[in-house]
Amino acid sequence: MTRMRAVEAAVKILELEGATQLFGVPGAAINPFYAALRAHGGLSHVLARHVEGAAHMAEGYTRATPGGIGVCVGTSGPAGTDMITGLYSATADSVPILAITGQAPVARLHKEDFQAVDIAAIARPVVKMAMTVLEPAQVPGAFAQAFHLMRSGRPGPVLIDLPVDVQLAEIDFDPDTYQSLPVHRPAASAAQAAKILDMLTAAERPLIVAGGGIVNADASADLVELAELLDVPVVPTLMGWGTIPDDHRLTAGMVGLQTAHRYGNATFLASDFVLGIGNRWANRHTGGLDTYRRGRTFVHVDIEPTQIGRVFAPDYGVVSDAGAALRALVAEARRRRDAGTLPSRAGWVAECAERRATMLRRTHFTETPIKPQRVYEEMNRVFGPETRYVTTIGLSQIAAGQFLHVYRPRHWVNAGQAGPLGWTIPAALGAAVADPATPVVALSGDYDFQFMLEELAVGAQFNIGYVHVVVNNSYLGLIRQAQRAFDMDYSVQLGFDNINADHFDEATPKGFGVDHVVVAEGLGCVGLRVTDPEEIASTLRRATTLAGEHKVPVVVEVVLERVTNIAMSGGDIDAVTEFEDLATVEADAPTAVALQHA
């Protein structure tokens, strides 16, 4: 046994559990932890400008790292409450992050001490565990349990709150014999896999819906092998995008009300059997359940028992880790292939491929101001299949889902369910820290970008280079489009007459508003602006070069037309409004949905 302060044991456990990257903001009530972190020397820390930003950085780090867990740290009171949006976002998308907060001394917790708030009670609805540690000897067990819970079952975040006197107290701890608690992950049986394949092979037009649970299980290779063995097309969900490459012959496109493809919805509506693995049947994916379910048999595989039947009752449900289920299904599919009992799917696969080749949305617009579709066309042309995209919410994210291409798991980093504005910058920084060798391209509308733009300074300070594309129409575009149902355009316009408008070039519209280029430069980054669609590609290439040379975020602001309606539906997947003037691909023009790397 070694005598040490409780926080020294906590820091050592972080190292032993592999959680060696922290994002946070020091403060009086968490300074003992930071002293232990400094003395240890083996962990890395990035200083955020906002504690919510630190939480989103931890999310981005985890989402980009197989098996990794990002850690966010803050002091007592408002630091913990600032983390709540990040914890909600993480739990909504099944992302494990560890939040560590300082707290007032135990004896003063009920005396309205300065910055003393019951953060465990506040956080409890949005985490797997929230604990204020009241006894110093409980610190090692609390951290061991945190990692056990984050990794077991459906992954998710945990918060540990450490009173300052608990941090400073000495305890006995033996790091040499520390052992992680066993991780619990249910696994599908061979009999369950056989039943699933019995049902699938009886269908004529089957599909696999690949959810984010496959990404969490690092089982994308197993998914592709299963699809190829069965010759069954795959529909990735928004969180599962990248589990099968977009240029794979069995990719059937995404389905849903917003981030969906015309051919994806059409193929789904033509199907008669759906095997969902590691997915939640999220409402933006399903739309109205009557339309979504009609004429189809459903099998649902998910690691969380209460997810089975939560949205609708499947015809057959299996509680299993996505990776374990896929391995069992692959083994059974191989056996049936070798026995020659798998049916041919050539006709169905060809039908899906035909829709994918023809049911495209137009992207090649030459007008000025720039139409957003052209931006994604050029992004596909410039950024290669190794690119990791990071985005969160709005028309920019919806259009990205419709037009961009993703080829690898964890290369689409998106706050799928919570969608908090401001998430993109800190999440991109976290992803870039996690994997510096992979180019990161973030995408924001102007409002998302303005929410937490102070975090750009973090990238400048810590030499985190990435490209951030800001599509700017000086509008809350998604809300403006939704307000059409109320026949209004109310409190959604962001433009104004900037008194420094002499900084803008002649092509920048009057009343443009915020000069994001100047803001980026003031925060130590590089800012570029594009007003001509023919200059998008060259500017993106220049941004990539500058991000590599200077190791700072490079902001590319693309000035868009004020109003563009993006295809979506308010109800059912068979009722997506395509805005026909934008929906027809020109036969003699390039299009972003024609795969660049096929």
Delimit the domains of the chain by residue range.
2-177, 190-358, 372-582
Q: Which DSSP symbol is given to 568?
A: B
Please state the pTM of the whole predicted model.
Answer: 0.94
pLDDT at 391: 95
Residue 552 has pLDDT above 70, yes or no: yes
* Options 479, 492, 518, 582, the catalytic residue: 479
Mean pLDDT of 176-182: 96
Q: Looking at the predicted structure, is the pLDDT value of residue 496 above 80? A: no
Least confident of 458-462, 519-523, 580-584: 580-584
Task: Say if residues 286 and 216 touch (Cβ distance below 8 Å).
Answer: no
Is residue 93 within 8 Å of residue 109, measured between CB atoms? no
Asked if 516 and 557 touch (Cβ cutoff 8 Å), the reply is yes
Please give the CATH architecture assigned to the domain spanning 2-177. 3-Layer(aba) Sandwich (3.40)
* Residue 502: pLDDT over 90: no
Could you give the CA distance from residue 171 to residue 198 in angstroms, rounded to a whole number?
A: 57
Q: Which of 95, 92, 90, 45 is nearest to 65 (CA)?
A: 95
What average pLDDT score do residues 206-211 get?
98
Cβ-based neighbour number of residue 398 at 10 Å: 25
Long-range contacts of 244-251 (CB under 8 A, 24+ apart): 244/210, 244/220, 245/385, 245/406, 245/407, 245/408, 246/405, 246/406, 246/407, 246/595, 247/385, 247/405, 247/407, 247/595, 247/597, 247/598, 248/224, 249/349, 249/353, 250/349, 251/356
State yes or no: pLDDT of 595 exceeds 50: no
Three-state SS sequence of 195-233: HHHHHHHCCCCEEEEECHHHHHCCCHHHHHHHHHHHCCC
- pLDDT for 479 beyond 80: no
Q: According to the model, what pLDDT value does residue 378 have?
A: 96
Task: Name the packing angle between helices 262-270 and 346-358 (round to 10°).
Answer: 150
The mean pLDDT of 273-279, rounded to a whole number, is 98
Distance CA 411, CA 406 (A): 7
Residue 54 has pLDDT above 50, yes or no: yes
Reported as a single tens digit per residue, the pLDDT across 482-492 is: 888 888 877 87
Supply the pLDDT for residue 307: 94
pLDDT digits (tens, 9 = 90+) for 307-366: 999 999 999 999 999 999 999 999 999 999 999 999 999 999 999 999 999 999 999 999
Could you tell me which CATH class the domain 372-582 is placed in? alpha beta
Q: Which of 51, 97, 441, 453 is catalytic?
A: 51
Instruction: Record the tokens describing residue 350, joined without a space.
Output: 């060809």
Average pLDDT over residues 467-480: 84
> Catalytic site residue 421?
yes
pLDDT at position 592 over 90: no
Task: Return d(Cα 594, Cα 596) in angstroms, integer.
Answer: 6
Q: How confident is the model at residue 565 (pLDDT cuts 50, 70, 90)?
A: confident
Position 115, amino acid? Q
2-177 and 372-582 in the same fold: yes
Rounded to whole angstroms, what are the CA distances from 271 to 249, 302, 338, 349, 573? 17, 21, 26, 11, 13
The amino acid at residue 295 is G
pLDDT at residue 591 is higher than 70: no
- pLDDT reading at 513 higher than 80: yes
Q: pLDDT-derived band of residue 588, with 50, 70 and 90 as boundaries?
A: very low
Average pLDDT over residues 218-244: 97
Catalytic residue among 318, 398, 476, 530: 476
Q: In sequence order, which ranges of 126-189 are alpha helices (DSSP H)?
A: 139-151, 164-168
Q: Is 87 a catalytic residue?
A: no
Q: Indicate which residue of 25, 160, 319, 517 is catalytic.
A: 25
Residue 495 confidence (pLDDT) above 80: no
Average confidence (pLDDT) over 166-180:
96
Q: What is the pLDDT of residue 474?
A: 80
Mean pLDDT of the chain: 92
Which residues is 568 bridged to in the sheet? Answer: 577
Pairing of strands 44-47, 2-5: unpaired
pLDDT score for 106 = 87
Determine which of 137-141, 209-213, 471-475 has the lowest per-residue pLDDT on average.
Answer: 471-475
What pLDDT score was predicted for residue 570?
86
Q: Right CATH number for 190-358 from 3.30.300.30, 1.10.240.10, 3.40.50.1220, 3.40.50.1370? A: 3.40.50.1220
Largest CA distance in the chain: 75
- Where would I find the H helices in 6-50? 6-16, 31-40
Question: Which of 84, 223, 330, 421 is labelled catalytic?
Answer: 421
pLDDT in tens, 109-138: 887 777 779 999 999 999 999 999 999 999
Q: In Å, what is the CA distance from 96 to each residue of 99, 191, 476, 541?
A: 10, 31, 31, 34
Q: Which residue in 275, 285, 278 sits closest to 319, CA to CA?
A: 278
Of 210-224, 404-418, 556-570, where does mean pLDDT reach its minimum?
556-570
Q: Is 554 a catalytic residue?
A: no
Q: Cα–Cα distance between 449 and 468 in angstroms, integer?
A: 9
% of the chain at pLDDT higher than 90: 82
